Structure 1
Amino acid sequence: MEDTTLHRRIAELSSEQRILFLQRLQLLKKEVKTVAIDEEQVRTGDLPFSSGQCWLIEESTGEHPSYWNMVFFLEPLMPLNPALLERTIAYLMQYHDVLRTRLQQRGGEWSQTILKQAQPPFTQISLKEVPVEQQQATIEALVQEHERRINSYATALFSVAYIDLGHSARLVWIINHFLTDGFSNQILFQDFQTVYQQLSQGQEPALPARTTAFKEITQQILAYIRSATGQQELQHYWLRRPWQKLKPIPLDHPEGVTIDPESSIRAYGTFASNEEVEICLSAATTQTLLSLNQQATILELLITALVQVGTAWTETTAFYLYVQDLGRQTLFKEVDLTRTVGFLAHARHLIIDTGHQKSFAEILPLVQQQLEEAPNKGRTLDWLKRPGDRSPVPAELRALPHADLTFNYMGFLDQLTDEQSFFRPLPIQALTYPLAIRNHALECKGYILDGRLTLRWIYSRSIHHQQTIEWLGRKVQTALETYCNQQ
């Protein structure tokens, strides 16, 4: 394969897939460094919060942040040994520090600490005597019981249960979003399979060398925003962005919005009011977008379409959006986060001033310029607005507008399945706390599945009508299709 072809194919991957590609390439090397788990390497003690964890605390409206649980139902494709499963969980807890995290609340303030040692939260349950038609309801009741334990915040923030159904089995992972993000879950499940297979073959578990600890990166981020460099970035870049040009997006029910008097944060209903609209582009249009990678990445093209439609909708020349980021790239030297487990994901803040430019082709280079010139690719404003020590945010930062739209490009979803997996994932039940507030009017998730680009719009029915979001989604679709037809 020629280098240009390889580079083109790598460029077509999402950021998640590029990291996975590099991980797997590293594992192909003949000499793979391994880690001997011992007490000297275990990182423990109090640590700052990441900006994502701070967001969860803010969203919890005074309730405990561990209400944000993710539940994964896995169907084993071969018989599993419960004793080896427990040993696997125990090893992963020593290897991945954050799995030993505990939350505390002191004087109304949250803090977190990593224990030196902790018992694996593993349970073996037999439902062989339960009638088949009652097993699903029993499993759901068991999940709720395990969630109550997690939500007590006195125990581990995750739980694993092996459920024997007689005719089959289920492996249920309940893990709090406070511990992991989506990419961390991929690392965790890959390591889970690797360690279990090693133990089942009579081998000592051995994983690649650990990368930078979650505690270390949160400490470095906190030190950076407190440094002269971080404060200069705030004063000379972020406070000088064209905030005055921004206008909020139109709302069908503006009376449904509430504003916190202290933080000035808008609440667009709660997660219980969420609705979705899905827009799928054709396979031909998707392929054309991917083929333009020498001109622009698909992320740049998607952001351009959102900005073009957003500025027309708000009748202004500037548009502000949060772009969800894996948090795996950093400005710090000698920091490697490719295998670090923790809630590292955060938002990249982008304020695109289009001036008098209105066409897709004119706005695209402005988006590319903004992505390139923003300090640390637009990531540090999230750190500044959500300091890891939960200290008060300066008034000038609190006064800045909040983005009405958050966007997350998730890449190729149908290329993330591991053919060597010994379990099959069943439909995921993401238990977002329903009383959590929505601090964005709209959320858009983009991904490619079965060769087609899909944009999934999430909105609150107490704020917008379905037909409004359908109209918006079609406008973005048309912007992308029109640009493709011009190429």
Structure 2
Amino acid sequence: DIEAGSAVYKEPETEMETLLSDIWQDVLGLPQIGVSDNFFTLGGDSIKGIQMASRLNQHGFKLEMKDLFQHPTIEELVSYVERTEGEQADQGPVEGEAELTPIQRWFFEKDFTNKHHWNQSVMLHAADGFDPALVEKTLQVLTEHHDALRMVYREQKPYYRGLEDVSVDLEVMKLNGPAEDHEDRIEREADRLQSSITLEAGNLLKAGLFQAEDGDHLLLAIHHLVVDGVSWRILLEDFTAVYTQLKQGKEPMLPPKTHSVAEFAERLKEYADTKVFLKEVDYWKQLEEKEVCTQLPKDRQSSDQRMKYTKTIGFSLTAEQTELLTTKVHEAYHTEMNDILLTALGLALKEWTGRDTIGVHLEGHGREDILDGLNMTRTVGWFTSMYPMVLEMKHADDLAYQLKQMKENIRHIPNKGVGYGILRYVTAPEHKEDLSFSIEPDISFNYLGQFNEMSDSGLFTRSNMPSGQSLSPDTEKPNALDIVGFIENGQLTMTFAYHSLEFHEKTIQSFSDSFKAHLLKITDHCLAQDGPELTPSDLGDDDLTLDELDKLMEIL
């Protein structure tokens, strides 16, 4: 038997086991996966789970994410895979008016200065160059297929334009010599493109192709209202597929569409006032009753909150440290990445603030399975969920207990926090009189998962040329400190974007150092454990506490 992941390798036997094994290998980038290997200790996370479900869907099967979390091996999971019975989304173009999603409502409520310039962007590098005609045709195919890319916003209402109204905004700029000789010009042009989007008129996607002697650099800037982290993975994968098909002289073919953002927002309106959903109110009400520290100790106060004063520092772990953190570390307590990262964050925050209960804004992908028969695994749009969490750090001196406590607290958040925005922005006022939505932490945290769409394609890599400012320098920074984590090229990077009129760099640097030290300490602690230890959520018992389980284990 061959060792793979943590379990002894067991070969897939049935067709479904083989299909799942092939999909896992593809999504996790591993050469061999057996039916007893654990998805999460192989480096899987919830976003990889979405990608897996999307691949499965293309074969005519569906899987609910909660089943993957509860049964993370192929041999357990196989009985939860179902055929998709006539649930395929309408493949025609979505047109006309639509509703806003909760996160889009948040965006308009904030009334940011210069809200047209609020993008997410990526700059790709192709050493062999891009063919401008093929790039334009590829973007046209993506815009026709992914309905959100045809959206405009008229008086804060989303409107899908028809196929006949859409063209592609691609500018081609020739540079003499290598790209780095023209870094200033690239930055200027990229800034101009990033700031050229208008919400009422569209297009909400702008592209700039910089042709240089040492390869081409392609900037894709898309307004955040229609795209998020999961969307980018879909778009980069589809860009590669269509560009390659066109290059080979083939008719472009993409997998079937999943349900649109328009359907999601429409269904959410009904769901937001159902008895089943309103059970969540109690959880958020209890959270609001806690004594919570939401303010960070600032070095000075400032009323000027503009983005232009944002500075960013960060650190990366080595490839070896990252691999342990995405695989072996989770064997001790059946954890996921956020359990580990948030424990490290809590320990560092406790050190900085001197407080035991600290509020943070968490961001999640927001594509939870809450609406029956709706599938958003291949839908481009802005689904992000944003919700408060209280990090309870009373057991900081007992790392094992603290980790298990954090894991349990995260598992108790209903539907991974997606309901908070629904309650706040969609539920009728009479159904949420008990809630004040008053927890407003200074700090936000978002783990984006692993990005290997770049390296997998072979077509392009991430460019090191400046891609311009995604957000207007005059727009307001929503949080005093934003912490973002992601894995690229096998390394975990954590970035800390802070408001430089409020914090000295050395303050944030020492906080970043503390976070890293705690992360490595947790890694060592988990690797030193003898065998796996279960917590109540592993047993599917929501009412059992950690202490009660420990007592039970002593009796057994």
- Counterpart for residue 85 of structure 1: 135
CA distance in 1 between counterparts of 2:125 and 2:454 reads 14
- Counterpart for residue 264 of structure 1: none
CA distance in 1 between counterparts of 2:441 and 2:227 reads 24
Q: After TM superposition, list the pairs within 5 Å mapping 1:25-424 onto structure 2.
A: 41-61=92-112, 63-78=113-128, 80-105=130-155, 110-117=156-163, 118-123=165-170, 125=172, 127=174, 139-140=186-187, 142-147=189-194, 149-151=196-198, 153-164=200-211, 169-234=216-281, 236-241=282-287, 243-253=289-299, 255-256=301-302, 269-281=305-317, 285-289=321-325, 290-294=327-331, 295=333, 296-354=335-393, 358-387=397-426, 397-398=435-436, 400-413=438-451, 415-424=452-461
| Pair 1:162–1:6, CA change in 2 (3 A) | same
| Pair 1:158–1:409, CA change in 2 (3 A) | same
- Counterpart for residue 464 of structure 1: 503
SS at match of 1:457: strand
The match for 2:516 among 464, 477, 482 is: 477
Contact 2:229 / 2:448 at 8 angstroms: preserved in 1?
Answer: no
| Pair 1:425–1:393, CA change in 2 (3 A) | farther
Q: After TM superposition, list the pairs within 5 Å mapping 1:429-448 onto structure 2.
A: 429-448=468-487
Deviations 1:412-458 (A, max 9, x none): 44x44344343343134452122222332322222345655433222
CA distance in 2 between counterparts of 1:392 and 1:136 reads 56
CA distance in 2 between counterparts of 1:402 and 1:394 reads 18
Contact 1:102 / 1:157 at 8 angstroms: preserved in 2?
Answer: yes
Contact 1:16 / 1:326 at 8 angstroms: preserved in 2?
Answer: yes
SS at match of 1:238: helix
Contact 1:82 / 1:124 at 8 angstroms: preserved in 2?
Answer: no
| Pair 1:141–1:8, CA change in 2 (3 A) | closer
The residue type paired with residue 45 of structure 1 is G
- Counterpart for residue 47 of structure 2: 16
Deviations 1:46-73 (A, max 9, x none): 2222233234334553x34221134433
Deviations 1:302-350 (A, max 9, x none): 1112223334544443222222212232322222222110111222432
The residue type paired with residue 53 of structure 1 is Q
CA distance in 2 between counterparts of 1:479 and 1:9 reads 21
How far is 1:300 from its partner?
0.6
Deviations 1:383-433 (A, max 9, x none): 3234499x99978644512123211223344x4434434334313445212
CA distance in 1 between counterparts of 2:434 and 2:469 reads 36
Deviations 1:354-405 (A, max 9, x none): 556653222222222222222112221133234499x999786445121232
| Pair 1:473–1:220, CA change in 2 (3 A) | same
Deviations 1:169-200 (A, max 9, x none): 44332221222112212211221221222233
| Pair 1:388–1:169, CA change in 2 (3 A) | farther
SS at match of 2:339: helix
| Pair 1:182–1:138, CA change in 2 (3 A) | same
Moved more, 360-369 or 164-173: 164-173
| Pair 1:11–1:402, CA change in 2 (3 A) | farther
Moved more, 455-464 or 272-281: 272-281
Moved more, 212-221 or 397-406: 397-406
Q: Percent identity?
A: 21
* Higher RCO structure, 1 or 2 (CA under 8 Å, sep 6+): 1
**TM-align CA RMSD:** 3.6
CA distance in 2 between counterparts of 1:338 and 1:153 reads 28
Contact 1:243 / 1:401 at 8 angstroms: preserved in 2?
Answer: no
| Pair 1:233–1:28, CA change in 2 (3 A) | closer
CA distance in 2 between counterparts of 1:247 and 1:17 reads 33
SS at match of 1:309: helix
TM-score (norm 2): 0.72
- Counterpart for residue 263 of structure 1: none
SS at match of 1:7: coil
How far is 1:288 from its partner?
4.4
Contact 1:386 / 1:393 at 8 angstroms: preserved in 2?
Answer: no
